[in-house]
Structure 1
Amino acid sequence: MADEFIKGLGIFTGAGLGWIVLAGWYRTPSFESTRQLVSPVSPTPANADLFNLLAIGLMDVLFWFALLGPLAFWVLLPAARQTRKAVEDRRNA
């Protein structure tokens, strides 16, 4: 169980850090603003170059990976193991 916890925590912190860095670069119009990290993406896709478009796409991927990755290791895998164990116990009884 500790193995799954540390994997989920590593995914959460790594992807979260990547998202925070990219969101700080692309979603902060100024540091005096009260809408940091939640304002729309500053370079519009119409006039952005390839690297900006990749970073904007990676920002969304990292956000969802930071949410769904730990969910898989903390909830789905242990639930699947418990289900498998219950099915085997029922089969053997």
Structure 2
Amino acid sequence: MVPGLAVTFCLAFVQAFAVFPSAVLLGAPAGPTRVISIAAYQAAFEQYDHSLGSTIALIMGGVELVVVLAVLATRSLFYRGPAGGTKG
């Protein structure tokens, strides 16, 4: 069951980083619970600091990549076998 839970965690984790449309549509995206995607957007398109916006986005992508790779590497410790559910 652990390999399935690991993949589910990875999908939910990546989806959590894509909250930009939800935060903007629900209102007050720059309030006390500001998300990192809003910070990247504000830096790039409101303050016209494209290098800061790009840096924030790259850090966000790097964190996602490191977490997903760590979870998938840990998942491989729990199960080794055929990738498909076929016999043989």
The TM-score with structure 1 as length reference comes to 0.45
The TM-score with structure 2 as length reference comes to 0.46
Instruction: State the structure with bigger RCO (CA 8 A, min sep 6), 1 or 2.
Output: 1
Who wins on radius of gyration, i.e. which is larger? 1
